[in-house]
Amino acid sequence: MSPITSLLPLVLLSLPAVNALATNISGTYHEFAAASYGLKATYNSGNFFSQFNFFTGSDPTHGYVSYQSQSSAQSKGLINTNNGQIYMGVDSTTVNPSAGRASVRVASNAGYTHGLFIADIAHMPGSICGVWPAWWLVGPNWPGAGEIDVVEGVNLAGTDTITLHTAAGCTINTAGSQGGTVLGNSNCNAGNANDGCGVTTTTSNAYGDAFNNNGGGVFAMQWESSGIYVWFFPRNSIPSDIKNGAPVTGNWGAPVVAFNGGSGCNIDSYFSNENIVFDTTFCGDWAGSVWGGTCASKASSCTAYVGANPGAFAPAYWLINSVKVYQQ
């Protein structure tokens, strides 16, 4: 995604320090940051919309979307906190909206440097032609303070794409990642940071329709000076330490991806003061540019399809149980 610019009580949990070691497919070891964390913030149905701001500007990724204010989103039925969950959807009734399909993009009021970010998500926008959802973090003066895309995909994608975006000078490696994770580009400033350094994954049930059909799950992103690491746990395999509010990354095995710092990238020089973002856009620089294959048979262009088929986007919603931030 592209950037936007932008305290909660501190509650400490006592956790043992752990030297977290994971084995990669070659049998070598990679040492992750010590996992001793205290709870910094909890975002849930009781406080989410008071602790996140609504972006209403033009989409920096040039999507066919009209981002709504909180009051407008509320009046249109695009947001609610029913049943103790955070709902963020899109307009699924208007045909050919002139300004783009109504949606929401929210960012946390608080910015973070380092931490363990755990999102318990029950539903994300499905694998639908034209849709481009993401859960990510981004700092000010993009790409100067970096961007971390934890959940992202477009159109009929069935697996998650995880990407970093930075200023020039950060080259990453992914030693210690799970098998099936493939690094597409090691230069996190590729394409003047628009492309970044991303990985494709083969993790089952971690994106789109497959994720939703399995009842969702938990994403955990650990960001420390040593690197940035992402895990995913399906609904029926969430570690007990996460459920108990005492996460220990050393218990979880190899991450889906390990973006390792070190000589190629001083993490602390490229990532800082980042806000947590959720959004759903349509078409634009990615979903629109790869309109083809099965989607191409639906309409001559991405925007033509998104405009003419509002009902297709009824499943393009986020349903979030909580987002928790832990820090050392």
Tens digit of pLDDT at every position of the chain (328 positions) = 643 333 333 332 333 333 333 333 333 334 454 457 999 999 999 999 999 999 999 999 999 999 999 999 999 999 999 999 999 999 999 999 999 999 999 999 999 999 999 999 999 999 999 999 999 999 999 999 999 999 999 999 999 999 999 999 999 999 999 999 999 999 999 999 999 999 999 999 999 999 999 999 999 999 999 999 999 999 999 999 999 999 999 999 999 999 999 999 999 999 999 999 999 999 999 999 999 888 999 999 999 999 999 999 999 999 999 999 999 9
Residue that the structure tokens 């961007």 belong to:
147
pTM recorded for the entire structure = 0.91
Catalytic: which of 31, 147, 224, 274?
A: 147
- Does residue 274 carry a catalytic annotation? no
Q: Quote the DSSP letter at residue 33.
A: P
Which residues lie closer than 8 Å to 26 by C-beta, 6 or more apart?
none
Helix ranges (DSSP H) in the chain: 48-51, 70-75, 208-213, 240-243, 267-270, 302-308
Q: Quote the DSSP letter at residue 188.
A: T
CA-based end-to-end distance of the chain: 28
- Does residue 152 carry a catalytic annotation? yes
Which residues lie closer than 8 Å to 260 by C-beta, 6 or more apart?
30, 172, 173, 174, 175, 176, 226, 227
Q: 3-state DSSP call for residue 74?
A: helix
- Residue type, position 144, single letter: G
